[in-house]
Amino acid sequence: MKPLYALILLALCSAQVQAQTPPRSTLYLASYGGSSEKTFREVVIPSFEQQFNAKVEYVAGTSATNLARLQAERAKPEIDVAILDDGPMQQAVSLNLCEAVKPSPEYEALYPIARFPHGKAVGIGVVATGLAYNTVEFAARGWKPPTSWLDLADPKYKGTLLVPTISNSYGTQALVMLARAGGGSEKQIDPGFATMEKLAPNVASFEAASAKMSELFQTKAVTLGVWGNGRVQALADTGFPVAFVYPKEGAVALFTAACPVAGSDVPELAQSFLRHLMSTEVQAALAKGAGWGPTNSKTDLKPWVASRVVYGPPAVAKLIAPDLEVINDQKQDWSKRWSRRIER
């Protein structure tokens, strides 16, 4: 066969193969950076790409940053699936930035607490917000482990306390729990601010970034703080002497939530990715790699993983789920009040 004819035949065969192969769709995922990003890139995303002949582009950022991005791009969104903390996710739902999650066996298997109102988002992982303390420093000073949210106001902790700022979900939850411990609630927040003002002199840092919170513990700039059990476990895994406490008034459920973005140009692929995130296989991977408790009630974890996360109906049932709609309705006023009276 002459070379020219061979080249033409090769080109025709190549074109025929390409015509028979469906185009590779691209899904843009907005989610966190850090340890959870590693789990997504190494485990969660590759299995989805292989199953659906798709490409997933990962857009890392904080919940606040990615929520702002969704708002800015609402007319023509680039993001197809968003993963945010539960508070910002509730805002996204209220702003009509999310589509309804389609029914599926995975959705039906979720704990009811993980299904957002209006059916437009789901919790794909849960951690408990409580108290973290340096066990060695506490022992050296003769301090007993904390047992209550109100312990944060004890004068002996002056200059050693970490309280995340109100722009961080941990900080907002701390304010709500201090209000509850003082006889108030999300709808009656005054007791929370009163206690927060009282404990403000104890605070060494009002931090917003979890990576920085870890650094503050490691450098012994703080010995006690408000933090999530998953983050505490990650630090403990490095050998650092830190322990997590479920306060007697209750620890708060903090969900990692996902939603299909309204206006996505790959809506079916986005729904498929939601189902993937809710599957028992991915739930187990996120528990192992990111420290998120499973929200799919059928997820089976190995004992050593189960012992490190919020796992099983009894553990999930004892968490407190704050009213996110009430919180978001008042968050702007609370933030102004916080700036005037707490972080002055």
Residues 41 and 182 in one domain: no
Average pLDDT over the chain reads 91
Q: CA angle 212-215-216, nearest 5°? A: 90
* Percent of the chain scoring above 90 in pLDDT: 83
Q: Are residues 118 and 188 in the same domain?
A: no
Do 185 and 329 lie in a common domain? yes
Residue 15 in any domain: the answer is no
Q: Give yes or no: residues 93 and 183 share one domain.
A: no
7, pLDDT greater than 90 = no
pLDDT at 10: 46
Q: Which tens digit of pLDDT belongs to each residue from 148-174?
A: 999 999 999 999 999 999 988 899 999
Clarify whether residues 110 and 54 are in a common domain: yes
Residue 113's nearest CA partner among 105, 125, 104, 103 is 125
> Do 39 and 151 fall within a single domain?
no
Residue 4 confidence (pLDDT):
47
| The dihedral formed by the CA atoms of 236, 42, 92 and 99, expressed in degrees to the nearest 10 | -140
Q: What is the 8-class DSSP label of residue 102?
A: P
- The residue assigned the tokens 């707490």 is 342
Q: What is the pLDDT of residues 313-329, one digit of tens each?
A: 999 998 999 999 899 89
- pLDDT for 112-144, tens place per residue? 999 998 899 999 999 999 999 999 999 999 999
Claim to verify: residue 67 and residue 182 sit in the same structural domain? no
CATH code assigned at 50: 3.40.190.10
Q: Are residues 75 and 138 in the same domain?
A: no
Do residues 315 and 297 lie in contact, with contact meaning Cβ atoms separated by under 8 Å? no
For residues 270 and 211, which has the higher predicted lDDT (pLDDT)? 270
- pLDDT surpassing 90 at residue 288: yes
Residue 99 lies in a domain: yes
Q: Are residues 283 and 293 located together in one domain of the fold?
A: yes
Residue 274: pLDDT band (50, 70, 90) is very high
| Cβ atoms 59, 79 nearer than 8 A | yes
- Domain of 29 in residue numbering reads as 23-126+254-313
Which pLDDT value is given to residue 24? 64
pTM equals 0.82
Q: Which two tokens stand for residue 7?
A: 């080249």
C-alpha distance from residue 148 to each of 2, 204, 250 (Å)? 85, 19, 9
Same domain flag for 145 and 48:
no
Question: What's the pLDDT score for residue 169?
Answer: 87
224 neighbors 132 (Cβ within 8 angstroms): yes
- Per DSSP, the three-state class of 126 is strand
Co-location of 281 and 263 in the same domain: yes
Asked if residue 164 and residue 143 are part of one domain, the reply reads yes
| Number of domains the chain contains | 2
pLDDT of residue 91: 93
